[in-house]
Amino acid sequence: MEIKLNNKVWIWSKMKTISIFCFILMLPFIALGQNEKFTASTSASSVGTGEQFQVTFSLNASGRSFKTPTFTDFSVLMGPSQSNQMQIINGAVSQTLSFTYVLQATKEGSYKIGPAEIMVGANKVESNILTIVVTKGQPQTQNKSQGNQSGQGSEKIMEGAGKNIFVKASVDKNTVYQGEGIVVSYKLYTKVPVLDFAIPKLPSFSGFWNQEIDRQGQQEQNTVLDGVNYKVIDFKKMVLFPQRSGNLSIDPMECQAIARVTVKKQQQGQSNDPFSQFFNDPFFNNNPFFNNNVQDIKIALKSEALKINVKELPPNAPKEFNGAVGKLNCEISVDKSVTKANEAVNIKVKISGKGNIKLIESPEFTFPPDFETYDPKENTTLNASAAGVTGTKTFEYLIIPRNAGDYKIAVSPFVYFDLDRKQYTKIDLKDLTLKVTKGDGNSITIASDVQRSDVKQLGKDIHFIKTNDIEFDDSNKPLFGSIKFYSLMLFPALAFFLLLFVRKKNKKDAGNSDLLKSQRANKAAMKRLSAAKKYLTTNEKDKFLDEMFRALWGFIADKLVIPVADLSKEKVVELLTEKNISNELINEFSETIDSCEFARFAGGIADSNDIIYQKGITIISKLESVIR
């Protein structure tokens, strides 16, 4: 009996498997035998602003190439959620293919949702048009229970998806010195497929200067966190340099992802129909071909804020210290030690190593008073990695001696805070000597690596006063006692006092470097904007954005006389407010900085480079006219 029972079970299993596959082969013919209907329905035809509702497109046959309508007047929260159901009642087979969206009403009015399209065999089928009325406040009670159930289901699905996908931020160290680099990494952890990922807005990084680490594509790997397996994507990594001491906070990173979630179909009641028993078999329930209910869900992700303890630098800083932190070296070279009067000489300062190189300032030079000098050209080459920022920053000074003689150019020491030794390090730089011989006085020879447009032709000092015929005055009036006589008598005294006043003012201005910086802020900014324009023309995006950043921050730092170590958005806003600058202008400056920063680091949509350039010129011009 036992053997016979086993044979019956084996025979029943074989028959069951054969019947299943026979039925699969019959599915296309069953679908063709139906009169296909493609309909659109909604859980609520009248909703209130901010309310959610459901739109479903259903086809009573097999279809392909589903094309959704445009939901321009609504926000799409979820969808499409695809469902493929098949029922067998007393041998009659019916099939339903549906696509469901969860929408949110945003503004009042009456709106139409156009037809969706789907291919059934060789024919294209369209659904009906839906009309949705959006009112203010709560929606009408029509289909209220159905809508609530739909909303609750959506919330549960989003909650479940949120547990399986999240963003995590981490730093390589939590306690640093002011100006010391911190590497912050942002990683996406997920257990579900991610169809799209975007960063709509970067953190403000208030109190930090930031530099993005260039990555070759997204680095995906598998990891185990709290005993759970995740796929991890290291999607952004940056180096931050704190600009002030204290307990600083790194703001959360906000992201958006579209995740695909599989939803199991609810079990239907058992039927006495033998065909129904086939589809309750695990072969169907566990096979994704039949259990293909999936939903694409838009999820807002947010990392946790990070706390950083920033220690003050030791108080015994030498007077030459300008905020350089790291492990650095400084070299100075001059292209010639012997030159002629009115010939250009190029002095090059090269600072290299690891640290906050982008914020470093040049050592100060003391030039003889009869030297023509120009603002230095700066060039920065950086390599940001998980180990920090290394690179080189060069300053090129163009000087033109006007008179012959032997000159000495004094150079201040270069001072930086050594993070390895935890103390200030001074690099003494030798004074430069320059022998100037007599020149021809007619022209200026420009160094080969300096653009001619940077130097004006200053050799021609004598011009004709009058070129027409001279008319002589034959008047015999005596000079003594005339107005001309007394004017000539008073002129030397007036000239003497005027010379004293000018000399005193020049000496005062020379001793006030902050005033000079403020006065030259616009000139330096325009120079950098000119360089940015060149990079914009040649489509060198990274160099263009770097120059724009230097123009904006350099202008406001010079204009408000803010040391580099104290430069931050909060400090700028505070000083602009003290100078009674309008909130509208302050917000415009902040938005321009944010637009430039967003274009550098965001993966989403940002302002074009042309717009950023125009914004930069506009805000610098406005601030120049109101800051005194």
Q: What are the tens digits of pLDDT across the range 468-496?
A: 556 655 556 666 667 777 787 788 888 88
What's the Rg (C-alpha) of the chain? 38
* pLDDT: which is higher, 64 or 158: 64
pLDDT class of 607 with cuts at 50, 70, 90: low
| Alpha-carbon span 41 to 131, nearest angstrom | 10
pLDDT(264) > 60: no
pLDDT class of 22 with cuts at 50, 70, 90: low
Sign of CA dihedral 147, 153, 155, 161: negative
Give the whole-number percent of the chain exceeding pLDDT 90. Answer: 18
**Would you give the DSSP letter of residue 452?**
G
Helix 583-601 to helix 541-560 angle (10° resolution) is 150
- Encode burial over 619-628: b for 16+ CB neighbours within 10 A, e otherwise: bbebbeeebe
Structure tokens at 595: 């637009």
pLDDT class of 168 with cuts at 50, 70, 90: very high
| Alpha-carbon span 55 to 74, nearest angstrom | 12
Sign of CA dihedral 82, 88, 93, 94: negative
Distance separating the N- and C-terminal Cα atoms of the chain? 107
Q: Which residues, other chains included, contact 458 with Cβ-Cβ below 8 Å and sequence gap of 6+?
A: 342, 372, 400, 444
pLDDT(211) > 70: yes
Structure tokens at 573: 């806003």
Give the model confidence (pLDDT) of 506-534 as tens digits.
666 555 555 556 667 777 788 888 888 88
| Alpha-carbon span 594 to 610, nearest angstrom | 15
In 3D, which of 359, 80, 402 has the Cα closest to residue 243? 359
H/E run at residue 594: helix 583-601
Q: Tell me, what's the pLDDT at 4?
A: 42
* pLDDT: which is higher, 50 or 278: 50
Mean pLDDT of 337-365: 91
Give the whole-number percent of the chain exceeding pLDDT 70. Answer: 71
pLDDT class of 414 with cuts at 50, 70, 90: very high
- CB 372 within 8 Å of CB 402: yes
pLDDT(449) > 70: no
Q: Tell me, what's the pLDDT at 515?
A: 56
Q: Tell me, what's the pLDDT at 140?
A: 41
Q: Tell me, what's the pLDDT at 112?
A: 87
Furthest CA-CA distance within the chain: 158
Per-residue CA distances from 260 to 52, 98, 154, 292 (Å)? 20, 17, 13, 12
Residue with tokens 């050594």: 418
pLDDT class of 321 with cuts at 50, 70, 90: very high
Q: Tell me, what's the pLDDT at 5?
A: 40
Mean pLDDT score across all residues of the chain: 77
pLDDT(617) > 60: yes
pLDDT class of 16 with cuts at 50, 70, 90: low
Beta bridge partners, 338, equal: 435
pLDDT(256) > 70: yes
Q: Tell me, what's the pLDDT at 458?
A: 44
Overall pTM surpassing 0.75 (yes/no): no
The C-alpha angle 38, 41, 47, rounded to 5 degrees, equals: 160
Mean pLDDT of 290-295: 58
Residues 235/238/244/250 CA torsion (nearest 10 deg): 10
Helix 583-601 to helix 569-578 angle (10° resolution) is 160
pLDDT(158) > 80: no
Q: Tell me, what's the pLDDT at 25?
A: 52
Mean pLDDT of 215-236: 80
pLDDT(235) > 60: yes
Give the model confidence (pLDDT) of 366-405 as tens digits.
999 888 888 899 898 888 887 888 999 999 999 999 888 9
Most confident segment among 1-15, 81-95, 341-355:
341-355
Per-residue CA distances from 493 to 480, 483, 486, 611 (Å)? 19, 16, 12, 56
pLDDT class of 143 with cuts at 50, 70, 90: very low
Q: Which residues, other chains included, contact 540 with Cβ-Cβ below 8 Å and sequence gap of 6+?
A: none
Cis? peptide before 80, omega within 30° of 0:
yes
**Would you give the DSSP letter of residue 5?**
H
In 3D, which of 285, 295, 173 has the Cα closest to residue 240? 173
pLDDT(445) > 80: no
| Alpha-carbon span 441 to 403, nearest angstrom | 10
| Alpha-carbon span 533 to 528, nearest angstrom | 9
At 507, phi and psi to the nearest 5? -65, -40
SS3 of 204, please? coil
- Report the relative pairing of strands 46-48 and 130-135 from DSSP bridges: parallel
